[in-house]
Structure formats: structure tokens, C-alpha cells
């Protein structure tokens, strides 16, 4: 059977309900984590699902799982909303985050890429892993990370970029030529 997104792209409207049932929890969880209140999160989730339907035909199962593709679309919208409204992530303080244990395996079954990304993160240098975690998982800006970690902004950016390139490579999303050229 074709993937849910392929069916949506081909105009199979009942697959929309399946999409919501399958990925609603994922999108809702991402929104609640990145946006400060439930109303904002609800508005964002509505927008995200419209984005998903619009982009369904772009999904390439050879490149990534449907789960990761949908999470990517959700993150785009959530980042956009956070930037436009200058919102902070939905957590108390960065200090609290820093003392939380990382790499909880509770939800690593989400998809293959989730497991591989978790493994890839373990292979990074500690400072890269920390910056990536604060930036991508917790939604802090590079400036906020710089301020809280007392780390120069340029260094934060370098750790984040190099760490992401490394993970991208380990997930098989890039190639060695890219890596040689990308020395950010």
C-alpha cells in the first residue's frame, strides 16, 4: 500500500484522517514543546497539517521516513512562528534543561531516523551535542545559548553547524564530498 502522504498527494481524501491519527500526536507534541501556550500550539498544528497536505507530493520515501518528513514540516512552521512572535520555548529555564539527563530512550521507537539520530548525537563532541540539544530539541536561539553557557556566539554557531553536518552525514543524508566542502 502506498504511504499516507502518497495517497494524500493522489487525492485520496480519506487518507487525511489516517494522517491525522497517525501523526497528530507527533505534531501536537512538537508544538507543545516549542510554543508557550496551548492556543498558540493549536493554531500552529492547524497550519502544520495544511502544510503537510500541500507538501505531500514532495515526500520521497527513499530519502527519509514519513515520520521524519512530517516532523520537518512541523518544525519549519514552529520555527517560523517562534521567530515572528519572538516566542521562547515552552520550558522554565535553560539551567533546568542543562541538568536534565539527555538521551532518554523512551521514545526512540518513533522512527528509524530517531534511533539513528540519537546514536549519532552520542558520537558528537560533548559541546556540539549540548549546543545541538539546546538549539534543536529545546528551541533556544544561538544567542540564548551563548548567554547561558557563557560561550562566544561564534563558537555556539560553529558547534551547532558542525554537529548538524555530522549528524546529517551519519544519517546518510549527505555525502562525503559535501562534508569536505562544508567546513563550517
99-115: burial string, b at 16+ Cβ within 10 Å, e else: eeeeeeeeeeebbebbe
Compare residues 14 and 126 and give the one whose CB is closer to other proteins. 14
Q: Which is nearer to other proteins, 101 or 150 (CB)?
A: 101
The three cell numbers of residue 53 are 497536505
| Distance in Å, CB of 150 to other proteins, minimum | 19
The CA-CA-CA angle for residues 126, 99, 141, to 5°, reads: 70
Rounded Cα distance, 101 and 43, in Å: 31
Residues 41, 81: Cα–Cα separation, whole Å: 10
The CA distance from 174 to 153, in Å, is 26
Question: Between 95 and 105, whose beta carbon lies closer to other proteins?
Answer: 105
Helices and strands (H, E) in the chain, number of each type: 10, 0
Nearer CB in complex with other proteins: 27/149:
27
CB of 37 vs other proteins, minimal distance in Å: 13
CB of 14 to other proteins, least distance (A): 4
Tell me the closest approach of the beta carbon of residue 10 to other proteins, in angstroms.
9
Q: Which residue number, 95 or 183, has a Cβ lying nearer to other proteins?
A: 183
Backbone φ and ψ of 42, nearest 5°: -65, -45
* Least distance to other proteins, CB of residue 39, Å: 10
Q: Are 51 and 8 in contact (CB under 8 A)?
A: no
Amino acid at each position: 500500500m502506498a504511504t499516507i502522504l502518497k495517497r494524500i498527494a493522489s487525492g485520496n481524501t480519506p487518507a487525511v484522517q489516517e494522517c491525522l491519527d497517525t501523526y497528530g500526536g507527533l505534531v501536537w507534541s512538537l508544538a507543545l514543546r516549542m510554543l508557550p501556550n496551548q492556543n498558540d500550539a493549536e493554531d500552529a498544528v492547524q497550519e502544520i497539517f495544511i502544510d503537510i497536505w500541500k507538501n505531500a507530493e514532495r515526500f520521497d520515501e527513499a530519502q527519509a521516513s514519513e515520520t521524519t518528513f512530517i516532523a520537518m514540516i512541523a518544525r519549519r512552521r514552529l520555527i517560523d512562528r517562534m521567530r515572528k512572535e519572538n516566542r521562547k520555548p515552552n520550558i522554565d529555564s535553560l539551567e533546568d534543561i542543562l541538568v536534565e539527563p539527555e538521551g532518554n530512550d523512551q521514545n526512540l521507537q518513533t522512527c528509524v531516523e530517531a534511533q539513528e539520530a540519537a546514536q549519532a548525537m552520542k558520537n558528537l563532541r560533548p559541546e556540539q551535542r549540548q549546543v545541538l540539544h539546546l538549539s534543536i530539541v529545546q528551541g533556544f536561539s544561538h544567542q540564548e545559548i551563548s548567554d547561558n553557557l557563557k560561550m562566544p556566539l561564534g563558537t555556539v554557531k560553529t558547534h551547532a553547524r558542525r554537529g548538524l553536518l555530522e549528524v546529517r552525514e551519519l544519517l546518510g543524508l549527505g555525502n562525503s564530498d559535501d562534508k569536505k566542502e562544508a567546513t563550517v
